[in-house]
Chain A
Amino acid sequence: MKEFLKKVFNTEFLPMSEVRKVKVWLVLAFLLLLTIVTIPYSTFFDYSFVMKIVTVTGLFILIGVMILMVRIDKPYIAIQLSMIYSILLMLYYTQGVNSFYSYIFFYISLAIIIFYQELLSFLLYGTLVLVLGVYYTLSFQEGLLTASDITGSVYIYMSILILFYLINLVQMLHNEKIYTDLNYEWVKMNHIIHNYHDDILYYLEDIRQDAHKSPIYENLEFQKAAFELSKFISEQIMKEGKEIVNLIDLYIYVHEKGLDKILENPDLSVAMKRTTNMLGKYLLNENTDMFAMIINFYIRFQDTKEYQENRYSYKLSDLSDLTEEQIIGFCLVYCYISYEIEQDREWHKIDLLERIEETDIFEDTELSEFFSNHVIAFYNDNYEMIVKYLTDKK
Chain B
Amino acid sequence: MLTKRKYGFSEIEQYREYLEVKNLRGKNKIASGVFFVLLVLTVVYMSLAKYSFSVILPVGIGYLVLLIINFVLSVYGEIDTSYWKVNKYISTLGMFSIATAMIVIFQSPSVIPLLFVAYCICAIYQDSKVIIISNVYFLFTILLVVINYPELLLAQNITDGINFSITFFSILFLVMLSISAYIIMKEKAFFHNQISTSKEVEYRNIDLLLKLKKQTNKEDKNILTYYDRTNEFLQSFSEKLNIPNIFEEKINILKDLENDIDEETILQKNPDYTRADLERLSKLLVCKSDELTRIAVKISKTKEADIKKREIFSATHFKSFNKQTDSTEIKVIAFVVFYVTLKKGLLGMDKLTDADIYNTITNSDYYYNIDSRVMKIYEENSEVFDAIIFDAFGKGGKKR
Contact = CB atoms under 8 A, between A and B. Distances in A.
A73 B41 CA distance: 46
Give the interface centre of A11, A37, A247, A248 by most chain B CB atoms within 10 Å: A11
B270 interface: no
Interface in B147-166: 151-157, 159, 162, 165-166
A379 B224 CA distance: 22
A296 interface: yes
Interface stretch (B78-86, B228-236, B260-268): B228-236
Given A14-B190, A335-B226, A312 B203 contact: yes
Given A11-B190, A299-B205, A328-B230, A203 B348 contact: yes
Contacts, number: 531
Contacts of A351: none
Contact of B298 (A190, A192, A221): A192
A187 B373 contact: no
Chain A: interface size category: 35 or more
Interface of A is mostly: helix
Interface of B is mostly: helix
Interface in A353-386: 360-362, 364-366, 369-370, 382, 385-386
A57 interface: no
Give the interface centre of A15, A251, A284, A295 by most chain B CB atoms within 10 Å: A15
B317 to A, nearest CB: 5
B356 A301 contact: yes
A300 B9 contact: yes
A236 B377 contact: yes
A14 B226 CA distance: 46
A336 B201 contact: no
A100 B326 contact: no
A152 B48 contact: yes
B293 interface: yes
Given A191-B307, A204-B349, A100 B166 contact: yes
Interface stretch (A62-70, A108-116, A261-269): A108-116
A319 B225 CA distance: 22
Interface string A155-197: 1110111011001101100110011101111111111110111
A237 B377 contact: yes
B215 interface: yes
A226 B319 contact: no
Nearest to A147: B156
Given A108-B172, A186-B198, A146 B108 contact: yes
28 contacts: A37-B172, A100-B153, A112-B176, A143-B155, A145-B155, A146-B154, A182-B192, A184-B312, A188-B307, A195-B305, A196-B301, A237-B374, A247-B330, A282-B321, A282-B330, A297-B342, A299-B201, A299-B205, A300-B9, A306-B1, A307-B3, A328-B230, A329-B284, A331-B226, A333-B295, A335-B226, A335-B229, A370-B295
